Amino acid sequence: MPLFTELITGLVDDTAYAEFQKELLRNPKKGNVIPHSGGLRKIRMRLPGRGKSGGARVIYLHLEERVIIVFFYVYTKAKSEDLSPDQLKRLRAAAAVIKQEFKL
C-alpha cells in the first residue's frame, strides 16, 4: 500500500476522504504553496473531533496543465508542526520526478 494511502486511511474514513478530495477538486489551488518545494502545496484537513486547526496537513502537487492532483504526504499537527528540511528535500525530489514524467 502506498504511504499516503496507508496514512490517510489511518486518520479518516472513506467518506471523509472522498469529501476532502471533492473539495480540493473544486479548488485545487486552495492549499498554500510551500516555499522551495518545487510547487508542492499544503492544506489543512479536518479530522473527526479535532477541527481544521488541530487536524491533519496534506501535502500535494497540482499539475494544472494536466488537471491532476497528486497526494504526497499527510501528517497531524500533533505529530509535527511542519515538514523537516529532510522531508521537504525528499518530497521536492519526488515532485520533480513526477513533473518530468508528465513533461512539465
**Can you read off the three cell numbers belonging to residue 35?**
516555499
SS3 content of the chain, % helix, strand, coil (to 5): 40, 30, 30
Closest CA relative to residue 58, chosen from 92, 24, 13: 24
Q: Which one of 3.90.480, 3.30.2310, 1.10.10, 1.10.3470 gives the CATH number of domain 3-101?
A: 3.30.2310
Please tell me the pTM assigned to this model. 0.89
The pLDDT value given to residue 67: 86
Per-residue model confidence as pLDDT tens digits over 9-62? 999 999 999 999 999 999 999 999 999 999 999 999 988 887 666 789 999 999
Q: Which residues pair with 33 in a beta bridge?
A: 41
What is the distance between the alpha carbons of residues 103 and 98, in angstroms, rounded to a whole number?
A: 8
Where do the structural domains in the chain lie, given as residue ranges? 3-101
